[in-house]
Amino acid sequence: MPLKNSLKLVEGVQKFYARFEKHLAEKAFNGKNISTDKMDEDQVANYDLAWIAAEIFAIHEMIAYPEKVGKSAGSIEENLSLFFIADALHDILNRLRSAAHGLGVSGEEFEREIQAKALFDFIHEYSSEKFAKKITDQLSDNKNFGDYGLTDDQAMMADTFRKFAEGQVKPIAEKVHRGDLTIPDSVIDGLSEMGCFGLSIADTYGGFQSETAPDHTSMAVVTEELSRGSVGVAGSLITRPEIVAKAISAGGTEEQKQKWLPLLASGEKKCAVAVTEPDFGSDVAGMKVAAVKVDGGWKINGVKTWCTFAGMADVMLVLVRTNPDMSLKHKGLSILLAEKPPTREHEFDHTQKEGGRVHGKAISTIGYRGMHSYEVVFEDYFVPDENLVGGEAGLGKGFYLQMAGFAGGRLQTAARATGVMQAAIEKALQYAIDRKIFGKPVIHYGINHHKVAKMCAITQAVRQMTYKSARLMDKHEGAMEASLVKFYACRIAEWVTREALQIHGGMGYAEEYEVSRLFVDARVFSIFEGAEEVLALRVIARELLSRAMGLKAS
């Protein structure tokens, strides 16, 4: 079978990739650990290393995909898998060819090691226009984009939230986007009634996540379906509750868990996350927003930015420096839960009875509207001791607690990207079928066969990567896989939505068509929940190089 043959080809590529990885690891090793400074001398190579790792992860999931969902040879599932594998291998080979030169490996040696003849035969056959046409013919006939591989319960959940997205989200998505409006209460209340905000919270604290048999896939499924309707109106609503809930679950006191988790799960209290600072984006170690100990609590001073949903939030998770010694870097940070009155306005200003003040203003953005991201200023803003996550034991642990929440946030971001890509594909395919140019439908042109097939194959690959990462997270594993799929999905979503817009031609550039919103919404994915370059170089590549040297990443 061609999929089994592809596995042998991938093994050869992986061997050379391991050689590349070891080479970069040895260059970055300082005799004790992996040096960030040394890694920074090879940033482009390390970025490629991370990207190839993500593509290899995707390839393995697509090799397993058709059999996992019980589909036979010639099915849309197998064809999408073959196309994706061929296309991804082509990209990997281009990157490794450059790496080979850096390793001092001749072109002949490189081609011999990777079995170039067999690889290029496979790539030529399964990423061709002819093979792409087989896929687009199947898609045009029945609009079947491939089995997702869900359990009956997960499929029912997907159907339920798809109907909600179709009935409640899509009809208002364009209005919210063009008018830069705030998400209406009807959407928030509807999702609250459906238990949406409790999907990542343990059932012992009022949520729907089983502590004994967790199911992160369902959370990903819900996120995808809501994002297919609109990532700004609905797809991101459960991300912040998950980040905050996981931080509290990981390090909060029992009293804090008993108080906050049920309130978040029910939707009674809405939340935001205040981590990023104007001068310190992903550089958490350098953050300066400080909290000073006072009688009965703490006073926060400083500016946080890109605080999504801060206006509507009743409480903000604020990462603050509770130890003024900057040499401690991230070990001087803690988490405070700062409460405030919610508002639907683009600006807010609240003064406490103690005299502290918090005020914020929404930042104008090209997409991802509805949630609104704010710059928030704290001026002697008082937070009681009971809202220091973890109490005294939580001092200096804020970075680690925040990261406990962000691993799930990365998984959700991949699911959000999948939903946006799926919506873009559906729009592009229908337009390509309906629109005629030079006497025949747009879908009948070879370049569009290739585009549509690639868009569908990529989206299914990201979906399967996301589900695999979710299953690993059920076992308290998968942090690396969540980082890989977030990195890959968010960058590739820009390409998918770009091509969907391109298929629409001039109409794609008009706000009249939904695909223009999908394009600008997709652009944010590579920025939030860990900027693309930081994720690639400081998280993924560092971990890969550490593993290559038999070390544990620090």
Give the active site residue among 529, 532, 533, 543.
529
The domain ranges of the chain are 2-127, 271-399
- The answer to whether 55 touches 488, Cβ cutoff 8 Å, is yes
Predicted confidence at residue 463, as pLDDT, reads: 98
Q: How many CB atoms lie within 10 A of CB 415?
A: 33
Q: Which 3 state secondary structure label does DSSP give 498? A: helix
Give pTM, 2 decimals: 0.93
Q: What is the mean pLDDT of each run of 10 residues along the chain (554 residues)?
A: 82 92 94 92 95 97 94 92 96 91 86 88 94 93 88 94 96 94 94 91 89 88 96 92 91 96 95 86 72 96 94 96 84 94 96 94 92 95 97 92 79 94 95 89 91 97 97 91 95 97 92 92 87 92 94 68
CA gap 119, 386 in Å, rounded: 61
CA gap 172, 234 in Å, rounded: 11
The angle that helices 43-68 and 541-548 make with each other, rounded to 10 degrees, is: 90
CA gap 346, 496 in Å, rounded: 31
CA gap 1, 18 in Å, rounded: 26
Predicted confidence at residue 273, as pLDDT, reads: 94
> Catalytic: 481?
no
Predicted confidence at residue 256, as pLDDT, reads: 97
pLDDT tens profile 154-191: 999 999 999 999 999 999 999 999 999 999 999 999 99
The angle that helices 398-434 and 446-474 make with each other, rounded to 10 degrees, is: 150
Q: Which 3 state secondary structure label does DSSP give 377? A: strand
* CATH fold of the domain at 271-399: Butyryl-CoA Dehydrogenase, subunit A; domain 2 (2.40.110)
In CATH, the architecture of 2-127 is Up-down Bundle (1.20)
